[in-house]
Structure 1
Amino acid sequence: MIEQNPIKKNIAIIMGGFTSEYEISLKSGQVVYDTLSKDKYNLYRVHIFKDRWVYVDDKGLEYKIDKNNFSIDVDGEEVFFDCVFNAIHGTPGEDGYIQGYLELLEIPHTSCPMYQAALTYNKRDCLSVLKKYGIKTAKSYYVNKGDQLDYDKIVGAVGLPCFVKANRAGSSFGVSKVHKLEEMDKAFEFAFKEDDQVIVESFLDGIEVSVGVITYKGNITVLPVTEIVTNNDFFDYNAKYNGESQEITPATITDEMSKTVQDLAKKVYEVLELKGFSRSEYIFSDGEPHLLEINSVPGLTTASILPKQAECAGISLEDLFENAINEALKTKKEA
């Protein structure tokens, strides 16, 4: 008896978003679309912006998403999705909103659950939760828009130089390194353009590394460590995306340092009960890794850190993306 080929799954690859990271997200989503096998899946590029949610076909034609059930009508045929591949950096894809929406509709997705996404996207809340587990971080000071800014008090708490960061943003948008008090006004103005919450952190002098952790074939898998050497004052947008840094995988740090930070990254993943992709950033200060932040929807282009780490571990880009879909579909079966 000849076995029938299974029906291809309909996969929506969502990209775009509401923040300054939308252009990077579109690139990530396009790489996912170009990499996944069209023989195995029916792939749909879905652009999500504030003013429109649309499926964009290969001719550039747009078809409106029905938000009631996340379906599309293509030439009179209603299309539903078996799984959503989340490639949205920033809101609404990385902060829990899209996760909550999809979970209410019982549509599997490749990212972590709603609460975990919201928590990891909020730097100050996430760091506060993890501190009780003995995870070291920089000294920090929190400010909401409208608060009276006492720069002397802030500097007294974190010192100089320090970093002024938009609390809920990525790709170094809204981040400034401040060397003197006179730079504070400009730094806060820049941060408040991205978010109405700001976190000010002490400067940690040391080796910066990035560690990817994924659920791969049912197991939590820690990827090789990447060492980040920036040509700029810090790992800013230009360093990340315009070639003004070196991202060395595997890192040139000692085996002991690699194991220490990999164990820590796995602990963070387990403590927060993350799923799918994650990439966390650390600085070795006084010989110990200090957590900077966690990305639950990291960059997925061929030049991005996590895909390079996966490649170093012997996991191809296609395998990386296909595994994410398979893991997401498991949640539907287990429910």
Structure 2
Amino acid sequence: MKKNIAIIMGGYSSEYKISLKSGNVVYNNLNADKYNAYRIHIFKNKWVYVDENDNEFPVDKNDFSITVKGRKVIFDCVFNAIHGSPGEDGYMQAYFKLWGLPQTSCNMYQAALTYNKRDLLATLKPYGIKTAENYYLNLGDAINEDAIISKVSLPCFVKANKAGSSFGITKVYKKEDLKAAIEESFKEDNEIIIEQFLDGVEVSVGVISYKGKITVLPITEIVSENDFFDYAAKYEGKSQEITPARISEDDANKVRTQAKKIYEVLGMTGFSRSEFIFKNGEPHLLEMNTVPGLTKESILPQQAAAAGISIQDLFSNAIEEAMKN
């Protein structure tokens, strides 16, 4: 009997449009012989099932079911395609855990931890994971520009602590531009992280649980046409994403080792994609995504393809692993 799969997409953050694209890629590539796929839009003002004619049916939050034409549908598994809140920060994971409903991303704690860049880096530091020098600010804190520059130097990156897809991030070259960049980041989050600029090769590496085994996917080198790997570079073709990366086998082994170590240390399940920059021959972690993009422009599906894993197999495996766990 075919399994009923709820593909959740949308969300409450600035990434909702990208999430809708990812969710529809999943919807269009699930194996129809094995699964009945349902698009579930999650927004602050509504949770609805959207059918092939764009008709909407409300989701019963009491048991995460839908009723269509008098027939109640109970789901066997949830495919999480929500980037940002509430799909990547632990809220949906906790909700589904309460119902005992399998879902394809990591568990609640891991989602909340990895979504918080500051907490993630602090947690991994004792395990020897290298990172850029950084400085933290919360909304309302006094802004001491000299102290910030003394810690991280210029240029530096000002980032929203809990945001993705390069929303709320600015590269700052001059002291007089620092406050404006901080204000921009505070539009996305009430916590920010200011990081030292690392001038080196940037790479991205996916790690997944594939057929019961932690699998490191081929490494992607990122070459942005813009000043950094910003929104346009990620989603509007303003970058080269070269898989496999043009790095030495020694450097590749370092990145693979670090990415797998992070996945294991955190007790991860499902998808992950970690970003690194090389400094003095060593990979430095920037961040980790636990619901990475699944659009045609996204990196993880490209890496899976390079590993000989079709997009249909990638999605089917995620569901089977979730239901097995």
Q: Same fold (TM over 0.5)?
A: yes
Per-residue Cα deviation, 1:74-130 (whole angstroms, up to 9, x for no partner)? 111111100000000000000000000000010000000000000000000000000
Q: Which runs of 5+ in 1 are unaligned?
A: 1-6
Matching residue within 128, 136, 143 for 1:134: 128
| Match status 1:269 vs 2:263 | yes
Per-residue Cα deviation, 1:253-306 (whole angstroms, up to 9, x for no partner)? 111111110111000000001100000000000110000000000001122100
Look up the SS of the partner of 2:41 in the other structure. strand
Paired with 1:242 and 1:41, the residues of 2 have a C-alpha distance of: 32
1:223: how far off?
0.3
Paired with 1:242 and 1:183, the residues of 2 have a C-alpha distance of: 26
Match of 2:96 in 1: 102
Match of 1:189 in 2: 183
1:241: how far off?
0.6
Match of 1:4 in 2: none
Matching residue within 16, 40, 49 for 2:34: 40
- Map residues 64-213 of structure 1 onto 2, 5 A cutoff: 64-213=58-207
Paired with 1:290 and 1:102, the residues of 2 have a C-alpha distance of: 34
1:39: how far off?
2.1
Look up the SS of the partner of 1:168 in the other structure. coil
Match of 2:215 in 1: 221
Match of 1:61 in 2: 55
- Map residues 282-293 of structure 1 onto 2, 5 A cutoff: 282-293=276-287
1:40: how far off?
1.3
| Match status 1:231 vs 2:228 | no
8 Å CA contact retained: 2:217, 2:303: yes
Paired with 1:106 and 1:84, the residues of 2 have a C-alpha distance of: 11
1:62: how far off?
0.3
Look up the SS of the partner of 1:104 in the other structure. helix
TM-score between both structures, scaled by the size of structure 1: 0.96
Paired with 1:45 and 1:265, the residues of 2 have a C-alpha distance of: 31
What residue identity is the alignment partner of 2:26?
Answer: V
What residue identity is the alignment partner of 1:297?
Answer: V
| Match status 1:240 vs 2:240 | no
TM-score between both structures, scaled by the size of structure 2: 0.99
8 Å CA contact retained: 2:234, 2:297: no
Match of 2:248 in 1: 254
Alpha-carbon RMSD: 0.6
Match of 1:3 in 2: none
Q: Which runs of 5+ in 2 are unaligned?
A: none
What residue identity is the alignment partner of 2:57?
Answer: Y
Paired with 1:192 and 1:49, the residues of 2 have a C-alpha distance of: 22
What residue identity is the alignment partner of 1:201?
Answer: E
| Match status 1:15 vs 2:9 | yes
Look up the SS of the partner of 1:68 in the other structure. coil
Per-residue Cα deviation, 1:218-260 (whole angstroms, up to 9, x for no partner)? 0000000000001111111011111111000000111111111
Runs ≥4 residues deviating over 3 A: none
Paired with 1:313 and 1:275, the residues of 2 have a C-alpha distance of: 19
1:187: how far off?
0.4
Number of equivalent positions: 325
Paired with 2:296 and 2:309, the residues of 1 have a C-alpha distance of: 13
Percent same amino acid among aligned pairs? Answer: 66
Look up the SS of the partner of 1:206 in the other structure. coil
Paired with 1:253 and 1:38, the residues of 2 have a C-alpha distance of: 39
